[in-house]
Amino acid sequence: MRLNKFISETGASSRREADQWIAAGRVTVNGRRAELGTQVGEGDHVEVDGKAVGAAKKHVYLALNKPVGITCTTERHIAGNIVDFIHHRERIFPVGRLDKDSDGLILLTNNGDIVNEILRAENGHEKEYVVSVDRPVTNDFLFGMAHGVDILGMRTQPCRVRRIGRNAFGIVLTQGLNRQIRRMCAVFGYNVRRLQRIRIINVRLGDLPIGKWRELRPDELQGLLPDRQDW
């Protein structure tokens, strides 16, 4: 891990401040003056102005089966916010959003560096949902949903849609427009009764009970962040 990242993750400073400290000769690693770009590993002893800097915080990656009624915000004054709901010992935040009226998979972490990589639209990351609606799903509806719908002043990207019941369908999106599925359904005169997210990229909801969370497995992290080794 780069030294500036290590220092910032202990909470002592930002990366920019850490670089300034290193450039000014205030940082040592194992008793030797550090340089910009210095790498540190487990067991290395880092000091700033002669005082030891604690170990970097362990990154936390969670999968939550969010219930309806919980809001994906870190603003603690909002009743039903996701941070208070989980009540984790670390300061974590959601990766993206899932509507208050929807349930299912949401990821949370304390590693701000990876959020944009997961959410960046051009990466085309898939999110899969199961949707129940108020009337029978028709072939025309499925075709229209799959080939793009005009909402919010734009046309949605083509997506995969399949019938899974008389009044239910599955949909895989690579976009994340505000209340996208509900708005798309409304164009065809359908009202959503339940919207559940069951997958984000390679992480699946599986049999995780509603309202419960678990830590992501190493293989799930590798699938989410294949080009990173510092998760």
Active site residues: 99
**Dihedral, CA of residue 89, residue 93, residue 99 and residue 101, to nearest 10:** 10
What φ, ψ does residue 55 adopt, rounded to 5°?
A: -65, 150
Which secondary structure element, helix H or strand E, spans residue 220, and what is its range? Answer: helix 218-224
**Dihedral, CA of residue 178, residue 180, residue 186 and residue 190, to nearest 10:** -130
User: 112: which residues sit within 8 A by CB, 6+ positions away?
Assistant: 93
Identify the residue whose tokens are 């999110």.
127
User: 231: which residues sit within 8 A by CB, 6+ positions away?
Assistant: 59, 61, 111, 114, 221, 225
Token output for 141? 């509806």
Residues 221, 224, 230, 231, CA torsion sign: negative
Q: How far out from the chain centre does Cα 212 lie?
A: 16
